[in-house]
Structure 1
Amino acid sequence: MTEIETIESFERHLRSGASLRGVVLQGLDLRGYTRELASVVLAGSVFLGCQLEQESVQAALAQGAMVFPPFLGLPYLPYRSGLYSTEELYAGFDPSRPESYADTLDARIYAHWSAQGRAHPVSIVEALAQRLHDHAITDAMEELLAGGGKHRKVVAIMGGHSMLRGQPDYRGVAVLARELTRHGFFMASGGGPGAMEATHVGAWFARRGEAELDAALAILARAPSYKDREWLSRAFEVRAAFPLSAEDRPACASLGIPTFHYGHEPPNAFATHVAKYFANSVREEGLITIAKAGIVYSPGSAGTIQEIFQDACQNHYNTVGVVSPMIFLGREFWTRTRPIYPLLEQLAQGQEYARFLRITDSLEEIVQALEEYDRFHTLSTIPR
């Protein structure tokens, strides 16, 4: 079905003379188009959260169209037409007043989610609105990754939210993400602080040199933890000092996938696209599923370990049609501190994904392994 998500697209469609049969219109204010709607076929069309005059509603229903009315009084749009941006989520934030975060859209949605029962909304209407919101986010994310018909090569980096700015591990993740972005991979993460933030910092600096990256990391290190009062302020200081130009933005793009479930950890400010979900389970599964070019596991705790075994399950049973690399950054950490790798290696014996398992301390080896897999995957899908 054709999807129309902007007034400009709607007007172009009308000018083309085409009917609205089989067209989905999402989140549009169409109250000024009652006459135009009366002159086209509406049978088979779907209106998702559109604002319509009563005359248009009656005409649509009479012709057999589906009309899903908008939800009123919510701080979020259930029928979103696109992903969030950092600018949208943090509109109203003043870096000189860290407490101004409470005025942002991100904070207001989290407060609403908490007041409505958190993961278990007391209202069935609220639960429905949240599910529709998450469906819209998934739809927008799929459109982003399709990239006009050319699918992006998504690599995710997983790791702990408690990884501190200023630590060698943080810098290592940032450098790795920068190199992978330069090699044409599209970086994704859980969108939060720690290793997740470092992933997007790396992508942000894909067109900048070592000295500029180090200067930015020094600024960030003045507020090492997301629990520090100026954690977000320092991020916006870096964004102001090293902005992305319109030319740089496509080459430095990345995708953060956070959740309001962990709303006490604000999303980092460096992801250029933000797919923020209410349902953490949908967010977790989705992040692992889209990372078909591979996942790098930097040091982390329970959440990262959960992701490892979710990924292993997908690879073990090939549930998404692609068996992709699982690369562990930190030999000592993943064999002794958190001895996951030996177990995973044993689990993978005799399975296709065994050859795509790797553990290393070398960032260069990770880049090389992911490039080799990309070449292998490209060759294996070329028709013969």
Structure 2
Amino acid sequence: MSSKFTGTPCPLYRTIDDEWLLTGTKDLYNTTLIDVDLTAVNVDWQTVAVDGTTMFIGCRMDLEHEIELRRRGVSFLRAPEGLPYRPTRRHLYTWQELMEGFSPLLDRSTDLKIYQHYENSKSCPSVTEALWQRLHDFSIDEGLRRLLDFSADGLPRRRVVGIMGGHGTARTSPDYETTLRTAKLLTERGYFIASGGGPGIMEAANLGAYLADRTEEDLRWVLETLAVAPTYRDAGFNEAALKILSHFETGAESLAIPTWFYGHEPSNLFASYIAKYFSNSIREDTLLAVSLYGIVYAPGSAGTTQEIFMDAAQNHYVTFGYVSPMVFLGTQRYTVETQLYTTIQQLAEGRDYADALYLTDEPADVLRFIEAHPPTKI
């Protein structure tokens, strides 16, 4: 079975220059145009093939042309003014966009405004609100498709390794540092780190990627800087992160896939690309689906345990056509405090992914195992 990110891209035209007008395409059957400004463009719509399968979402054009197209069966959809988010997006988020409006004294960030809006309708959204949220999450899917650039064989051209673990892990914890060093090593070898985008282990993953090729002295300074605000509930949490970004103005790229479902947890500031979803279930499945080069499980609680079994199910049934490594980073957590590693070994017995399981406490071992066990097509 193919991933939702493989195969023929969805027939969407988002921009004028490189995806539609300059191509000379006249056939818009079974096509949705999203967020295209056509007010300043001279189009002879009589020469364009449209019908009831053509839809314009969030597009702008002269009223007379819209009426003409409506008479030919075209549907139009526009989001209301005043939404704190754009239902149709051309790109993934950046931390700068989400943090716009933030200050240590008063948080008026875009991220918080969207969360507050979502909280008011999370339990029972109106039909239109549900529609805008679904369109938004679809746009995020499309942004990921372009970013990761899946080939015809179903693998992303960026070698994505996911790192999962507890959101409450303190910046002063040994698990945080181990995760940071693991992500750093993997990034230095050309892997593209993806995390759940929140604090704790997720922040350590994106930060470790950002610090690729930095010195040991740099790492010690970073950890000391973060120690002033160990958890996201501590005052100065974002300020410590911003201090690091100010000190190291550039860093290696990585991906975060968070959700407003857990919006009280701030998105970490170290990912280059943020694919933030309203739907947590879509977000969870997506994070696992794109991490085809392996997933590393640092210590975590119920959420991490859920991800372990979801990942095991994908490997067990070869959901996306590949078996991928599952690396458990924490012997104490996964064999003493819990028996999760043993349980997954038992489930995998006689299956293709039995050889893709690994348990260690060392970042260098993680790298060696993942390099020795690329995704296996079944």
- Do the two structures share a fold, i.e. TM-score over 0.5? yes
Distance 1:305 1:14 in 2: 48
Does residue 362 (structure 1) correspond to residue 362 (structure 2)? The answer is yes
1:83 corresponding residue in structure 2 = 92
1:225 corresponding residue in structure 2 = 231
The 3-state SS of whatever aligns with 1:112 is helix
Query: Residues 289 and 148 (structure 1 numbering): CA distance in 2 closer, same or farther, change over 3 Å?
Result: closer
The 3-state SS of whatever aligns with 1:99 is coil
Query: Residues 337 and 37 (structure 1 numbering): CA distance in 2 closer, same or farther, change over 3 Å?
Result: farther
Q: Which stretches in structure 1 are left out of the alignment for 5+ residues? A: none
Distance 2:23 2:303 in 1: 50
**What is the CA distance between 1:91 and its match in structure 2?**
1.4
What amino acid is aligned across from residue 43 of structure 2 in structure 1?
Answer: E
Distance 1:217 1:57 in 2: 57
- The answer to whether the 8 A contact 1:197-1:270 is kept is yes
The 3-state SS of whatever aligns with 2:80 is coil
Relative to structure 2, which stretch is displaced further, 211-220 or 195-204? 211-220
- The answer to whether the 8 A contact 1:49-1:71 is kept is no
2:6 corresponding residue in structure 1 = none
1:193-228 deviation per Cα after TM superposition (whole angstroms, max 9, x unaligned): 000000000111113222112212211111100111
Query: Residues 70 and 322 (structure 1 numbering): CA distance in 2 closer, same or farther, change over 3 Å?
Result: same
- The answer to whether the 8 A contact 2:241-2:269 is kept is yes
**What is the CA distance between 1:192 and its match in structure 2?**
0.1
Query: Residues 222 and 7 (structure 1 numbering): CA distance in 2 closer, same or farther, change over 3 Å?
Result: farther
Distance 1:19 1:55 in 2: 20
Distance 1:352 1:17 in 2: 48
2:141 corresponding residue in structure 1 = 138
Higher relative contact order (CA 8 A, sep 6+): 2
2:116 corresponding residue in structure 1 = 111
- The answer to whether the 8 A contact 1:71-1:78 is kept is no
**What is the CA distance between 1:355 and its match in structure 2?**
0.6
- The answer to whether the 8 A contact 2:159-2:293 is kept is yes
Distance 1:235 1:169 in 2: 18
Q: Which stretches in structure 2 are left out of the alignment for 5+ residues? A: 1-9
**What is the CA distance between 1:115 and its match in structure 2?**
1.6
What amino acid is aligned across from residue 36 of structure 2 in structure 1?
Answer: L
The 3-state SS of whatever aligns with 1:277 is coil
Query: Residues 189 and 227 (structure 1 numbering): CA distance in 2 closer, same or farther, change over 3 Å?
Result: same
2:72 corresponding residue in structure 1 = 63
Does residue 27 (structure 1) correspond to residue 35 (structure 2)? The answer is yes
Counting helix residues as a fraction of each chain, which structure ranks higher? 1
Q: Percent identity, please.
A: 40
1:223-302 aligned at under 5 Å gives the runs 223-244=229-250, 252-302=252-302
1:99-178 aligned at under 5 Å gives the runs 99-101=105-107, 103-116=108-121, 118=122, 120-146=123-149, 151-178=157-184
Aligned length: 363
- The answer to whether the 8 A contact 1:37-1:56 is kept is no
1:334 corresponding residue in structure 2 = 334
- The answer to whether the 8 A contact 1:261-1:280 is kept is yes
Query: Residues 69 and 368 (structure 1 numbering): CA distance in 2 closer, same or farther, change over 3 Å?
Result: same
1:155-182 deviation per Cα after TM superposition (whole angstroms, max 9, x unaligned): 0010000111122211111111011011
1:9 corresponding residue in structure 2 = 18
